Each structure stands twice: as C-alpha cells, then as structure tokens.
Structure 1
Amino acid sequence: MPNQYRLGIDAGGTFTDFILADRAGEVRIFKALSTPQDPTQAIRNGLALIEEETGIKAHDIVSNADLCINGTTVGLNALIQHKGARTGLIATAGHEDSIEIRLGHKEDGYRYDPEYPPARMLVPRYLRHGVRERVVSTGAVHTPLHEEDVRDACHHFLREGVESVAISFVWSVLHAEHEARAAEIVREMMPGVRLTVGSQLYPQVREYTRTSTAVVNAYLAPILSRYVEAVDGYFRSLGAKNPVRYFQSNGGLALGSVVSDQSVYAINSGPASAPQAALYIGEPWDLQNIITVDMGGTSFDITLTRDGRANVSKNIDFLRYRIGIPMIQVETLGAGGGSIGWIDSMGLLQMGPQSAGSEPGPACYDQGGDKPTTTDANLVLGYLNPGGLVGGRLPLDVSKARAAIDTHLAKPLGLTVEQAAYGMFTIVNNNMVNAIRRVSVERGYDPRDFVLNCAGGATGAHITALAREMGIRRVLVSKLASGLCAYGQIISDVKYNYIAPAPVRLEGAAAAERLDGLFRGLEARGTADLKGDGFIEDRITIRRSLDMRYVGQVHECTVDVDPFPLDEAALERLKAAFHARHKELYTYSEPGSMVEVVNVESAISGRVEKPRRMLIAPGKGADAALFGTRGMIFSAEGAERRTPVYSGELLGAGDRIVGPAVIEEVTTTIVIEPGWTAELAPSGVYVLDHAG
C-alpha cells in the first residue's frame, strides 16, 4: 500500500527518537543512541531497531512513506562546540568589528558583570575584510562599491582556506545592489564556497543583528549541507519516493535545499516541534493555551502556545550569538534526570547545572557514578520502579542511590536520606518553575490561564508538582510523551518566513499602500514557492506580523495579525493591536502617541495531511491495571505513604485514577500527587486535573 507510513526522527544529545505512524492509526515510539560523530548512523541504527521489533524493513518503511521528517541537532552541536566551517566576512569598511562590539554591551543578565568573558568570535579578526562602499538610511548611495576590495578579500580567503563567506553591508536592506554585486564576484572567484548574503537571508533593519545572523548561517551552512546530502542520499538508497523534510526552528518543515542555504533556521529544530504536538494533543478539548515542558537527562526545555500560536522570538542572543530570524521560543535549563545535587559555599543545597549524563550516569544506574542526581532522588522517594526503567531493561540500584545522597547531602546537612531526597526534588522543581515563568510571566502571560503538557521521559515524575507550583489545574500527558518532539514533526506543516524592512509611520494612505504592497509581494512569492512544492491554493495559509514601536522608542515589539486589506482605515486596527500588545508586555500603552513600523513578516504554511490519532479501547476500570503498591514520599518530613502503582499498558479509555498514585508507561513514569486525578482519553492522553 503506497504512502502507508509516516516517519519522524528527532536527534537529541543522548537518544534519537523515532515515531512511526501508519494509516491504521497505530503510532509507535523507538529510541536509539545518538551518534554525534556521524548523525546518519543513528538513523541507520534506529531503522534497524524498528525492523528488529516490528519485522518491517527499512526499505519498506521509507519507500511506502508519504513523509520522512528529520529534526537534527547537527547545527546546534556545531555552534555549541565551535566546530563550524572556516568562515570569512565581507563588511562595509569600518564595520568589520560590529559582531565583536555587539552594540556595546554583553548579553542581558551579564551586562554589568566585569568577570563575564567575551563571546568567542565565529569569524576571527583576520578573516573579516572591509570594502569601501556606503549606503545611507534613505537608501541612497554615498560611496559606490569598490569591486577591487571584494576581489582582495577573495584572494585572502582563498589563501586562508575559507569554506564559507558572509556578506553584510550597512543599509543593504534599502539598497541591495552592492551586496548582490559582491556576491557575483565571490561566486566567480570562489565557486566552491558556501555564500550567505545578509540582505537575502535577513532583510531587516538593524545592521548588527543582520551581520551576526549572516555569520552564524555561513558558519553552519557547510556542516548542514553535508548532513543533508548524506541523509537525502541514504533515504534515496532506501527507495524514498518523496524528499526528506527537515524541521526548522520556526516550527515548520522545509526541503533539504532550503536548510542547506538557510542553515540558521535549523539550529534549534528538535524542541521547536513541541508546540505543534501540544496543540494536536489538546485539540479534542479545544485547548489553545498550552505550556509544554520537556525534561531529559541533562536539560529541561519549555515552549508555549497562546491562542493556538507558539511563542516566537526574534533578535535574540542564542548561545551568545545574536540571531534575528524568527524562532520558536525555547527556554532551556540545565535540569534533567542526571542533574547533580551539591552544597554551595553558603551550606545550601543546589541542583545542577552539572549533570552525570549517561556516562557514568546517576548513582542508581550502577555504572560508576557516585554523585546524587535527580533520578536518584526520585528512586529514593519511591516514584520510580526499583525493578528498572524502560520496561526493566535499565535496572536501578536503590542502595547506590541512598548511599550517594547520604554521603554527599544528607549527612553534611544533618538530614535523613528521605528528607534530602525530597529537598533535591523540590529544588529542581523550583529551578524549572523559574524557567517556566520566563516564557510566561515575563512575556506578559499568566500561567494559570494555561494547561501544562508533559514531554520527555523524565518529566512525568515532576509534572503535577510543577503544575501545583504554577497554579495550573490541568495537565496533559500523552502515551508518546517521551518522544513528543518526533511526534510533533509528523503532524507539522511546511512553513517559510518572508520578511522585509518597512520603516514607515502609521499615518495616511501612502503608509497603508506601502505596507499593503509589501505584504502582497511577500505572500505572492511565498505562495508561488509552496505551489512549486506541490501545495494547492486551499492548503496554503498566511499569518502576518509587524515589528512596531512608538516613535522615539529604541526597541520594537512584534504584533501578530490576521491578513486583511490594508487601507488607511485599517491602520487603526494595526495601532489598536500594537497598543494592546504593548500593554500586555509592559503594563501600559500610549494611545495618543504616534506608532511606526520597522519590519514586516509573512509566515506562509502549506498544510500537510495529519496521520490518524492513536485510538485506545475502552478500559475495564483502573483496578484491572493495578499491580501493587510502593512506599512514596510527598512531603518534606520524609514520611512514607503506601501508594498504588498502575500499569499504563493495561489502562483503557475512560479509566480514572485518584492520587496519590503512579502510572508506569514503558518509556515514562507519571506521578500523580495527592489532590490530583487522572483519566485516560481515547486519544491516548492522560488528563490530570486538580481536585481542589
């Protein structure tokens, strides 16, 4: 049967997750160890694991799949480890150091810290070449391009073995001809080099952000290009009839050719699919406001959707590098199952960000680790099955966990092992709550207006405690929670962002005409691109946004709007939307002040047919899934409480459990604290509600 399968692959730091869906509605999750030295090997290993467990050969899956989707950490890892390509920068003379000057300050949070070291430059000073040219803020040419300077730069780059070149000139977004001509010269003299042109990649006002974005893209482009070539080639060898799609940081799918050219969009592609998965999971209850939390072995990722749309950030410092393109906002914290507990110089208990990782791992793994971790605390508290994780394939040693906590924390602090373990649990939860506030409260959203969605294998043990601390009264936990990002990929749409500078004040018919023309031009281009990709008109959707500010303000805020005809009267709708967003973010607005636009953006999506949802048969009552009790601790006193434990595999739709209780799925454990109830929906989602 053609197009029988859909395959999602999410490459994480420790595991690569595989989600395989078929047309019958069966959705299965598989995990293989990631192989950072050769990311394609993990894909081969995962497909071999699928064949071993299901009997379905890799060729049969790929050749009968409508979509094979890959979310990759290749770009992220290259940026973290500073293992990108040897990159050169061609800039306006006198502006070669803008990426190092960084607008004259350090990142937020470190601005006044004299001990905070400077960021490592992706392009060293000797590979930054200034050329004589200058465009002014009106778009007029002040100094023509000196082409001989560009040729000198190319000669220098050839001598230095440069693989990738970024071009970024001042005010190029208003007059792109100089960058275009410089690009022609580079292609002529360096035909094998990867080339990034700032005014094409990120045509927005703000020279530093545009230059930094172009540099990051150039730094990663050769790495992503080689990866895409290897993955595409492998899938073609398996008989793929459709091109592999890659997940982007903007929350949509793209062809490999797009990812190769616009590699900056692939930096954080893994967790960026979580919001789409959350909305799909919440759809049966018409849930639009969802915070998704994903706890793995070393990190904790948070994303947010409001009114059915994911939080999107632009102009952010990511891993200390300014990136302008729109990215799903992912707040990442060093808090995971391997986070190590320690005592600081003040004698206070701390958790992380140091992690035991997978090697040697938590003490309870009995693989040589002797430091107390979050997983050790959860085991001592009774939340995890001492018989082992992943269906018993990963045995746990309670005595090793207790010894690690006792030696390093309990005795020095004068606590029992149980009290110390609950303290570890509480502190790591508080760390995660603070991170959740950064994507909610600090963005102008009240977390109590949201439901909390669980992702990642380690999150289930903490999910009701996190909701309690945030005042959230409903939690969703899918049976696919441990591979939620891979699941998000197979239900996501193709998406491209088209942006343009628009320095205009919202007054008069001329302003409306200019904005309307810009949007129409961007959307005509985007629609044509998606039609060329095989999408018909009624499967293409458009969303608009504008970067706006009050005249005289230094920074702007992004305002999302539905497409509508932009005439002079419609400008009042844009102003009202800006005033409302400004008040939401900063608690005040100035309706009497003049408003101006800086940039505009259209997000064009091609809707992909979704696979059928998982369907769970009606249950026989929760008691049929009860297989015992365990002593668990739910308070700082460390008092043990006998608590029922249920098998997730035996629970059916409609089965309801009253906390305290634990539900053990094969790849995750769900702790239901006192005061909470859980009911399994037919879609394979546990709905947890606070009884109070």
Structure 2
Amino acid sequence: MARIGVDVGGTFTDLVLEIEGENEGANRVYVHKVPSTPWDQSEGVLRGILEICRIGGIYPSDVRLIVHGTTVATNITIEHNGAEVGMLTTRGFRDILHIARHKRPENFSLQFDVPWQSRPLVKRRNRIAISERVMPPHGEVTQALAEDEVRAAAELFKARGIRSVIVCFLYSFLNSAHERRAKEIIQEVLPDAYVSCSSEVANVIREYERFSTTAMNAYVGPKTSLYLKNLEQKLLEAGIKAHLRIMQSNGGVSTVEKCSKEAVSILMSGLAGGVMGGRWAGALSEEKNVITVDIGGTSADFSTIPDGKVKIMNPRDTYVGAYPILAPMIDLATMGAGGGSIAYIDEGGAFRVGPRSAGADPGPACYGKGGTEPTVTDAQVVLGRLDPDHFLGGGIEIDAELAREAIRTKVAEPLGLTVEEAALGIIRILNSNMSLAIRANSVAKGYDPRKFALAPFGGAGPLNGVALAEAVSAREVIVPPAPGITAAIGLLVTDMQYEFTRSVPTLLKNVEQPAIDKLNRVIDELTSLCRERLDDDDVPPDNQHFVRIAECRYHGQGFELRAEIPDGRVDGEKLAAVKSNFQAQHKRDYGWSFDDVDVEIVTIRIIGIARTRPLAWPELEDAAGTGPEAALMYERPTIFDDRKTYATPRYDRKKLKAGHELSGPAIIVQHDSTTLVPPGYVAKVSTKGNIHINAQRV
C-alpha cells in the first residue's frame, strides 16, 4: 500500500510518499516539491502526485490514500470572492449579522473599518425574515413556521440567481425542526442550491456567532465543494482510485463529502498540517514541548505544543478575516512573512517587510520571472546563505545579480545603506516580527519558551530557526529531516476526526437527576452520530475512539473553556471531575480560578477519532566515529547576523549520518530547504534524522 500527503502552499506544493515494505521489509519514503498553481490548485496537486509516483517507482493506481491540505477556503476569505448568499432568519432578527456584538474594532479611531458591515457575508437585501418562533429553555414552538413565506423567499432567491442559501432561526440549537423544514422547501425550489442550516453547521448557543459561522460556510462552500469534487474527478481520470481525505482546521482529517458540506471546517486546512508535522518531528527526538515555526513563501505560522498535546483555540478567539467562526481550530498564530515577503519603504519612510508577497508568480527578483521588488529570499541570496547553483537542489535557477539590483534600488539607496546592510535589515525585521508572534502564542498564553524546543520548517524556516530561538529564549532548535515537506508529512500522521456538538446549559451546583439524565442522553446521541460517520468510512470498531468534552464557564462569564468528561455514565462524581478539569484549565489560561463560583456546562462536544498508522521514517546510518568530511561540498563567504563574513562550509544533508556534529558557521543544504548554523552553535544529527542545534559550551 502507498499513501501520499500533499500540502498546497502559496509558492510550492509539497508532497510525501510512503510505500509499505514488502515481505516485512522497511518502508520507503520519498519527498517532492512542485510549483503551486494558484489559478487552480488541483493542477499542481495532480502534477505533484504523478511525479512523486514516478520518483517512487510505483503506478498511480498503487496509491490507496491521499491526504490533502488546501488553502482554497482560506483564499476565498482573503480575496473576498465567495458566493452570493441568501439568508432566512427569524422575523425581527434580520440585522444580527450587521449589528454583531456592537463592538468597535478600534475604540479611538474615527476611520476604522467594520468588515462585517463593509464586506458582509450576506447582503441585507438577501436577508429575508420569516415568521416562526422557538423559545428557550426547552425549544417549545410558540409560532409555527410560515411555509408560504419560506417558499416565496426561495422563489425570490431563484429570480436573483442566488444558489447558496442559509437558514438561521433563533434557538434552533434547542429545536431544529423549523430549520430542517425550511431547508426542504428551499431544495424543492432550488434543487441544485448549496443550503446550510445553522443547526447543522454550528449547533451551539450564541446567535450572532452561529449565524456568522453558517454564513461563512455558505460563502466559501460552493467554490470549495467544486474544487474538492473536481480534484476527486481528476484523480479518477488519471487512474488514481485512492481515498481522498482533507485536513481540517482542528488537526484531524475527514472525507470530501463532509468537507464539502461543512467547508467552514477546513478554513485553516493549509495551516494545520504544519502543526501536526512539527509535533511529529519533536516526537522523533522524544521531545513533547515544541514550538512549531512553519515559514513558507508567503506566510509564517506558529503554534505552541505543550506535552505533545495540540491546543484548540478558545471560541472567543476563532476569527477568520474578522468574522467569528464557531468551528474548532488549532491554536496558532499566522502572519504574512516568508521567503516571498516584499521589503519596501512605506509612505512615512519606515523600512518594512511583508505582509505583501511576491508569491509563486512572479516570485522573488532572483527567480528571473519578472519580479522587481526585493524579497526575503533575495536578501538571503545577497548574504550568501542561499547558493544560486544549489537552490532547491538546483531545481530552480536563481540570479544573484537580480537580487542585488532589487535591494539596491528599492531599499539600500533610499536609506543610504550598502546592499549587504539592507539585506541584513530585511532579515532582522522579519525575525523581529516573527518573534513577537511566537511570544503571543506562548508567553502570552502562560507557556515559557525556555522549556520548549523550537522546530523550524517550511522552505524558509531552518534559515531563521536559530535567530528566532535566540529571540524567544527557546531551549534548542530541532530541524526536521525534510523541513520543506514537514507540513505534508503532518497530513500522514493525522487521525481522522468527526465532531458533533450540542448546547445543553447546565449549572453544576446542586444539579438534579433530570439534568444529569439529559447530559447522558445528549452524550449518547452525539457519540452515535460520530460512530455512524466512522462506520460509513469503514473504520473498524476497535479503532474507534471517542473524546468527550464539556465546554464550561463560570456562571456569568462570556465564553467557555474545554474540560474533559471522564469515561462512563455521567454522575455526580464525574461532574465534580469536569468542574476540577475546567478550573485547572482556567488557571493555566488565565493564572487564576475560583473555588466558590458556580460552574456551568454550556456545550457538549463529542470527537470521534480513527487513529492513523504512524509514518515510519527511516533511520540514518550511524557515523560510527567518522567525521562529516564526506558530506562537505565546498566553502563560500557568508554574512551572518553579527555583520561578519565567514568562509562557510556547505554540507549535503543526504550524506550526513547519525552522530555527526557540525560546528558553526555551517550551512546544510538539501532539496527542500537550507539550514543555517551560525558561529557559536553546534548541530548534531540524530538517529531519526533530526538536526539538533545548540549553543556551543564554553
């Protein structure tokens, strides 16, 4: 059996192929990169899959599983080119998406932008009020659904050419009957429409966030669904009958069908694979505390993984493009910083780097594709850290003179600097911006970077790893075996996950048996839904695992934190454990907790998991006391952060063996990335292929 992980980035599409060994032989692993095709990501994906199959010496039909990380849904939100959405909502609540939480994004600015008003996911003329009413606390129907109004609204949408519709009624998380019936009527009138109910997409309390999440699902859903199904068809036409799975924002994978219907669940698909890959790299060295640093061509992503556990964002923080999204997402920080980030002088004369990027086309000036603006990659070339004849294994030709010219004309001369000084400035600004983002995701959330290893990957990560570790005082640097492909590797070490939620507001103080019975009933129902999905995917019962989460808050608080529910039927003892788990989490997040304040369960979340087989990365041959001389390629002058130029040896990573040590300055070259070892540091190669970089002991 063969399986492939394919991750689409802004500049390159990364792939990893694992082929199971025959007759108990060792598994073979291959990695590959191809340029991304932003106009249609599936073209680059298909090309990469066919090429890596040739590299691995297998037929495309031999592939049984493809796991895909995509930025299609993310790009739609960034570019604001989603579907025109029609909305049905409860009469009197037409403007919830406009009013939102009535917060000013910038309290003291007179010129602030309110994205949910200036760029609404649903235009006001397409928000139609419907007579119906469901009331709390038990979902009683006090006004029947006006089916004639629903049908008239659907006819209006049809006349306007709207083919993406949402149904968002008040308190539908308590009783979804009206939403389900309205959906049936819409599908009778618009049989080909993309229809989403809020009770299907985000079946939880808080009408604004629930409506916004459903609106985003309908906004990105049609194009995302079209892309996924188009990719699936192209794979079949190419003779690839593999199961196609999609990376979700929560760090799990799911089916094309599920991700097409719930496109909002893959808004962070392209970012999540990197976090899972960083955790995998740490595990290769038995390191559980890892800060992942994924730096590609257009963006950089950071996540703090304590004790090997990937963190999920609090609901109050899950925003995409200023729109609240009640879908579970890995806790990460992202910014426009990467190899393609453009350096420029702004209108006020300040020296800036990013977030604008040269992307894949035209790319950095040194690519020779017509780009004239200086980028981070151009700066690395000028400093001698990227060699023109060995960039990406020689797969892309770069011109150092074009890089120098771009930096000279756009940055160095306007600021009165030499080209080398300007190039160093570009790198320093980039690293300063990124170190602030790392601290925001670690120190600001109660985690001490001094207890963590920093794992830099992506095409540009290992060039910046040591400088970032110095800036945040990380314990050491661990460079994965294939840094530029680590996000793709993360796709193959990710479990399949399904999540179902339901709001069941329950105060834990003096809780009575009927309330406990309701909690058990909801847990059973949600678990059954997870089990059905896993059964449909032919997951054997012994590989079905269920995580039970109570999202809790102190009574009167605005948002919840997650607390695990112990296994077994819920009773008073288990609810006490839930309260204890919540208070421990509250103390970790905020530094304090209350023992004498009521705790309230707001939402029950059940996660159905199918464990994936670990990726069997081959071990390196032991150096057995020999030195790294066989891996030495040549020496070239290189400028480091101390402004000094050193004759710096280049080493071929493929020829390094377990136990080899390299004293800085040194540069380690491989096809998918380049690792910088500054003066005063030592790099040691581990058995599993990780490179550990630490300061030299004096």
Paired with 1:635 and 1:437, the residues of 2 have a C-alpha distance of 21
Counterpart of 1:572? 576
Letter of the structure 1 residue corresponding to residue 14 of structure 2: D
Letter of the structure 1 residue corresponding to residue 608 of structure 2: I
Shift of 1:464: 0.8
Distance 1:338 1:35, change over 3 A: closer
Shift of 1:499: 0.8
Paired with 2:569 and 2:306, the residues of 1 have a C-alpha distance of 25
Shift of 1:302: 1.7
Counterpart of 1:677? 682
State how 1:304-343 maps to structure 2 within 5 Å.
304-313=304-313, 314-315=315-316, 316-343=318-345
Paired with 2:38 and 2:356, the residues of 1 have a C-alpha distance of 20
Specify the SS of the correspondent of 2:236.
helix
Paired with 2:52 and 2:240, the residues of 1 have a C-alpha distance of 17
Contact 2:620-2:688 within 8 A present in 1 as well = yes
Paired with 2:359 and 2:428, the residues of 1 have a C-alpha distance of 21
Shift of 1:360: 3.4
Letter of the structure 1 residue corresponding to residue 99 of structure 2: I
Counterpart of 1:191? 191
Specify the SS of the correspondent of 1:463.
helix
Shift of 1:275: 2.4
Distance 1:368 1:528, change over 3 A: closer
Q: Structure 2: which 5+ runs fail to align?
A: 22-26
| Among candidates 356, 359, 362, match of residue 358 of structure 2 | 356
| Farther off after superposition, 415-424 or 210-219 | 415-424
Contact 1:621-1:651 within 8 A present in 2 as well = no
Contact 1:289-1:307 within 8 A present in 2 as well = yes
Letter of the structure 2 residue corresponding to residue 442 of structure 1: A
Q: State the identity %.
A: 35
| Farther off after superposition, 345-354 or 98-107 | 345-354
Paired with 1:205 and 1:632, the residues of 2 have a C-alpha distance of 57
- How many residues end up aligned between the 2 structures? 682
Counterpart of 1:380? 382
Contact 2:285-2:688 within 8 A present in 1 as well = no
Letter of the structure 2 residue corresponding to residue 190 of structure 1: L
| Among candidates 4, 8, 22, match of residue 7 of structure 1 | 4
Paired with 2:108 and 2:588, the residues of 1 have a C-alpha distance of 28
Counterpart of 1:94? 92
Paired with 1:75 and 1:346, the residues of 2 have a C-alpha distance of 35
Distance 1:169 1:350, change over 3 A: same
| Among candidates 601, 604, 607, match of residue 603 of structure 1 | 607
Contact 1:388-1:396 within 8 A present in 2 as well = no
State how 1:398-409 maps to structure 2 within 5 Å.
398-409=400-411
Instruction: Give yes or no for the alignment of 1:518 onto 2:517.
Output: no
Per-residue Cα deviation, 1:25-47 (whole angstroms, up to 9, x for no partner):
22222222222333322233223
Per-residue Cα deviation, 1:628-650 (whole angstroms, up to 9, x for no partner):
222233345x2212222211121
| Farther off after superposition, 373-382 or 343-352 | 343-352
| Among candidates 431, 434, 440, match of residue 432 of structure 1 | 434
Letter of the structure 2 residue corresponding to residue 448 of structure 1: R
Distance 1:202 1:373, change over 3 A: same
State how 1:440-455 maps to structure 2 within 5 Å.
440-455=442-457
Shift of 1:668: 0.7
Contact 2:566-2:578 within 8 A present in 1 as well = no
Shift of 1:564: 5.2
Distance 1:534 1:481, change over 3 A: same
Counterpart of 1:689? 694
Instruction: Give yes or no for the alignment of 1:267 onto 2:267.
Output: yes
Instruction: Give yes or no for the alignment of 1:628 onto 2:637.
Output: no
Shift of 1:469: 0.8
Counterpart of 1:209? 209
Distance 1:326 1:563, change over 3 A: farther
Paired with 2:664 and 2:552, the residues of 1 have a C-alpha distance of 48
**TM-score, reference length from structure 1:** 0.93
Instruction: Give yes or no for the alignment of 1:285 onto 2:285.
Output: yes
Instruction: Give yes or no for the alignment of 1:125 onto 2:131.
Output: no
Distance 1:406 1:560, change over 3 A: farther
Contact 1:23-1:611 within 8 A present in 2 as well = no
CA RMSD of aligned residues (A): 2.2
Per-residue Cα deviation, 1:390-425 (whole angstroms, up to 9, x for no partner):
122323333333343333333443433333322221
Shift of 1:51: 5.4
Letter of the structure 2 residue corresponding to residue 86 of structure 1: E
Counterpart of 2:592? 588
Distance 1:228 1:379, change over 3 A: closer
**TM-score, reference length from structure 2:** 0.93
Instruction: Give yes or no for the alignment of 1:77 onto 2:83.
Output: no
Paired with 2:166 and 2:480, the residues of 1 have a C-alpha distance of 43
Distance 1:539 1:689, change over 3 A: farther
Paired with 1:541 and 1:329, the residues of 2 have a C-alpha distance of 23
Shift of 1:543: 2.1
